[in-house]
Structure 1
């Protein structure tokens, strides 16, 4: 078991992780808690499988079967095209030649394998609930299925094509959906109602330290491969949790003392026209700007990177994305569907792997930043490819798709939802 304590961003209270804590016990306002690890210098344990080689900085009590890990390499093709001398790509997905073996094709596996290995007194008698727009659901489905962990996934029905696997899921994993035309926020509402039932508990999203520190392994991979903290960090964001995780990992490396003292400038990006984080940041606002629910659903339906469609990201909360961007002197970029697809094709041609639309958004934003002279071409740049190799994986495997066990109307009443969910697990 990793030695760590939890700490509140708001009051500084330190406390043990005894019961799946998602908030400070003092209930001291809207603030994220984070993990303080006993080991200040990271030892990469290559003898442990997959992600768990970074266990010194993961809040875990066990090792699960089947994990992959982020792989960082120095770019040649894309770097040359952009005139960059030190562009490093951290690849999350399926690319066996590079040693990338995430069988669901996205860095959401980093979250799932850490969350499901966290100390949890609910293992034996309750069911974990996860809301997702696609990739997270697929990752948790795989981890829980292969390790016999009870799970209920809540997804928008329009994202059901993301629910594939190389083998049929264990019956311990069930899926419910909000009807066509809904979005990720509707799936979150559904999950919140279900978690009011006594035998279910929330995974926690950005509040879960295991989710953030699992995502932060992308930075652990990059820094230990490069030998120093990068100057810039590029990633597309829906919730921004991955960027918050990168910021937190960055500060652990500063405390480590062997990799530099700089904060990476977080360069995050969104997919036009769904841009709540971009809009708030450019308005200089800590609070997200108000958008009509139907308008937001329509915008989310238009973007090619569906996984970026989070209407309620942890942006304003203390220790959230606004603080991370402010402290790192970061910025928020946008890319259209066309720009994202062009970047996806460019990456495939120059680097040799297919990437997902969200990674295309990040790559397009890097291209823009270089063209506009916003990034020093001699700087050490980390490009977080959050999903890739999925098209190849699909070609090489016979996939099984999981249909929802029940589809709820968008405006379903709480009582009806609880009744139907109880029947699923009856």
Structure 2
């Protein structure tokens, strides 16, 4: 089932200092540095050699930090929009779609671009003697659960209890996957705190979130899909963001494409969006602040409860860190945009009507902001635009398949102790 392909040739580099060092296994932070910084993979292959579609996401293996391929992946698919483009008066609108749309060549069985992360991260994880720990608001958990179950990789998921309806699957999961939750009313930040406790225990290893080069470079395959399909780097990149990791990944992939030399020298402006009223990164960006603005925990939870795109609800995103979203947007250009729940619902309906497939509410937030920008004349009608549809086809997939839901083995309060977590996992 799994194929060991030999570790991709790369070194790690601290974004803050430029210092390079070898990846000794599961490095998430710069070696010997105190200042918080993302690390970046610097690949030996400077030109991307795209394999055929049978490789799934591993068609982009040259720029993935992996040592093996795993069964069942599907790469993002890019196509030129006709009907939505005409509606908005755009001549070069390209949709990069990750989800379930077999007619387009998209076969993501969890219907989310979070599969790009999971297949890359698990391809990097060669030692499965420890249990991988993943925090998620929903889609990431579904993707990792599917990949780990199919490939017998031990996994602990930490997901808010309110988001359990996101943990659906087309078959019962292997027992190597377990789920624990912070109680109802908790959000993604609480799930991260719970995962941090689990990761302190012997035998568990944190997935790392945005710090993990495999997560970012897996997500960066959306930009690679677009650039190789279009033949050039897009002028604009539209995506809704919760952590912003996908936009950081697109920026990093863009820099590699410039160095490749065959796709132009431009940087796609990052047109990233949040779902009002939960807009911490948009608020900081508009204040030209690297640091997120102060936010009361209870107020934040209430705002998270109010948004329809729950996956866009990260209270501690990699925004300020060196190499994070603030730096990405300062370098590439772009803007933070905001859409209401009503605008997201209307955009989802319009996209399905015109393009012929249902989409998640998170990418619908991005569609809503694209509509606003186009109708207001704030973007060039002839610009090459990449619209990253980060999940879709779920309604169709659920109609066509029997579903099974993952149930938690333990539910915790907002601030569990390490002992409570240890005892629950021992049961």
Band of TM-score, shorter chain: over 0.9
Aligned residue in 2 for 1:11: 17
Provide the C-alpha distance between the structure 1 equivalents of 2:232 and 2:16, rounded to a whole number of angstroms: 30
Q: How does 1:164-183 map to 2 (within 5 A)?
A: 164-183=168-187
Q: Is structure 2 residue 114 aligned with structure 1 residue 102?
A: no
Displacement after TM superposition at 1:145 (Å): 0.1
Please, which of 47, 54, 59 is the counterpart of residue 53 of structure 1?
59
Aligned residue in 2 for 1:396: 400
Distance 1:66 1:228, change over 3 A: same
Displacement after TM superposition at 1:95 (Å): 0.2
Provide the C-alpha distance between the structure 1 equivalents of 2:402 and 2:101, rounded to a whole number of angstroms: 17
Aligned residue in 2 for 1:132: 136
CA deviation map 1:7-49 (0-9, x unaligned): 1112222112122000011123111000001110001011652
Aligned residue in 2 for 1:148: 152
Q: Number of paired residues?
A: 421
Q: How does 1:79-98 map to 2 (within 5 A)?
A: 79-98=85-104
CA deviation map 1:261-281 (0-9, x unaligned): 000000000000000010000
Displacement after TM superposition at 1:330 (Å): 1.1
Provide the C-alpha distance between the structure 2 equivalents of 1:360 and 1:16, rounded to a whole number of angstroms: 40
Q: Is structure 2 residue 406 aligned with structure 1 residue 422?
A: no
Please, which of 218, 222, 228 is the counterpart of residue 218 of structure 1?
222
Asked whether the 8 Å contact 1:156–1:180 carries over to 2, the reply is yes
CA deviation map 1:257-299 (0-9, x unaligned): 0010000000000000000010000011000001100000010
Give the match's secondary structure for 1:88: strand
Aligned residue in 2 for 1:376: 380
Provide the C-alpha distance between the structure 2 equivalents of 1:5 and 1:273, rounded to a whole number of angstroms: 41
Provide the C-alpha distance between the structure 1 equivalents of 2:17 and 2:255, rounded to a whole number of angstroms: 19
Aligned residue in 2 for 1:295: 299
Q: Is structure 2 residue 412 aligned with structure 1 residue 408?
A: yes
Provide the C-alpha distance between the structure 1 equivalents of 2:140 and 2:53, rounded to a whole number of angstroms: 27
Q: Is structure 2 residue 328 aligned with structure 1 residue 324?
A: yes
Structure 2 unaligned residues grouped into runs of 5+: 1-6
Please, which of 266, 269, 294 is the counterpart of residue 262 of structure 1?
266
Please, which of 23, 27, 30 is the counterpart of residue 21 of structure 1?
27
Provide the C-alpha distance between the structure 2 equivalents of 1:414 and 1:374, rounded to a whole number of angstroms: 51
Displacement after TM superposition at 1:329 (Å): 1.4
Asked whether the 8 Å contact 1:10–1:28 carries over to 2, the reply is no
Runs of 4+ in structure 1 displaced over 4 angstroms?
A: none
Q: How does 1:183-198 map to 2 (within 5 A)?
A: 183-198=187-202
Provide the C-alpha distance between the structure 2 equivalents of 1:278 and 1:112, rounded to a whole number of angstroms: 27
- TM-score with structure 2 length normalisation? 0.97
- TM-score with structure 1 length normalisation? 0.98
CA deviation map 1:176-235 (0-9, x unaligned): 000000000000000001111011110000000000000000000000000000000000
Give the match's secondary structure for 1:7: strand
Structure 1 unaligned residues grouped into runs of 5+: none
Of 276-285 and 14-23, deviating more is 14-23
Displacement after TM superposition at 1:119 (Å): 4.6
CA deviation map 1:136-188 (0-9, x unaligned): 00000000000000000000000000001000000000000000000000000
Task: Please tell me the root mean square deviation across aligned C-alpha atoms, in Å.
Answer: 0.9
